[in-house]
Amino acid sequence: MKLFSRTKQSSGRKSKREIPPGLWIKCDGCGQPLYHKALEENLKVCPKCDFHFPLTAQERLQLLIDEGTFHEWDAELSPADPLHFQGPRAYAEKIPEEQRACQMRDACLTGNGKLNGRPLVFGATDSRFMMGSMGSVVGERLTRAIERAIELKQPVVIVSGSGGGARMQEGLISLMQMAKTSSALMRLDAAGGIFLSVLTHPTMAGVLASFATLGDLLIAEPKALIGFTGPRVIEQTIRQKLPEGFQRSEFLLEHGLIDLIVHRRDLKTTLGRALGYLA
């Protein structure tokens, strides 16, 4: 028999099935592959290294606010393009694409509801929408929420997850939101109101430099990246190696920037207890 002229016989085995996309995800903390469904069942916390993955604003709402008690405010507000920003991509084109992808008009959700039966004003930023950057709509929604909290005499809880800081496509209008939200919180404090700020991975730049660090209590999730400028940029600027764990929650707690680190599964209970003490 001619070896090389022999026809190929079927082995009877089925071809190897491909793994469906989205079934597994790589942990940003330890680099290990994680089964996506198991990760979601664990509140999106890595069971191997305890890294807390970012949550959407809706997921934050479901995690912290009593079911059926939330009423959203200012959902109709949508960003404009006052500068007619072009850049690599036109801002006017990018906005509707982000809105379709995230099913949100902008990177912030606000309203009032109840946490363990206690009425409060709630806000959460969403890092999926342009990295959770703060533009005019985010600043306006948060400011209106804080002002309504003063009228209603209710405490404020804002969960920050913004890796984008002030939104460059809106220029000074975006930077102005830092002062606007901070001023609203000053009025809340003068009225005797309470503000609890929750810092999650990542909370950076203009958000951190304004409302996110003005809470009566600063609570962070474990291993969250929190800072004004990213560590790689700082290292390139000062040309020095930064300490291990720089800008992580544990480092910042040790150096006094935050008050408390709370695991995601305990966050609702801790917030409820803190509101009870401060009220």
Q: Strand 24-26 vs strand 33-35: parallel, antiparallel, or unpaired?
A: antiparallel
pLDDT at 164 over 60: yes
Assess whether pLDDT exceeds 80 at residue 98.
Answer: yes
When pLDDT is averaged across residues 76-94 and rounded to a whole number, the result is: 86
The 3-state DSSP class for residue 225 equals strand
Give the highest mean pLDDT range of 3-17, 125-139, 209-223.
209-223
Whole-angstrom distance, CA of residue 154 vs CA of residue 121: 6
pLDDT of residue 254: 87
For 115-137, what is the mean pLDDT? 89
pLDDT-derived band at 248, boundaries 50, 70, 90 = confident
Domain ranges of the chain: 23-53, 54-278
Residue 92 has pLDDT above 90, yes or no: no
Q: What pLDDT, on the 0 to 100 scale, is given for residue 107? A: 86
User: Which residue, 110, 198, 119, is CA-closest to 154?
Assistant: 119
Average pLDDT over residues 181-198: 95
Class in CATH terms, 54-278:
alpha beta
Average pLDDT over residues 174-189: 93
Please tell me the predicted confidence (pLDDT) of residue 165. Answer: 78
Look at residues 80, 71, 178 and name the one whose alpha carbon lies nearest to residue 137: 80
pLDDT at 134 over 80: yes
Report the C-alpha gap between 210 and 207 in whole angstroms: 5
% of the chain with per-residue pLDDT over 70: 92
Query: pLDDT averaged over the chain?
Result: 85
pLDDT (average), residues 110-124: 95
What is the model's pLDDT at position 180?
Answer: 93
The H or E element spanning position 157 is strand 156-160
Task: Quick: pLDDT tens for 5-50.
Answer: 555 555 555 555 555 656 787 887 777 788 878 788 788 888 888 7
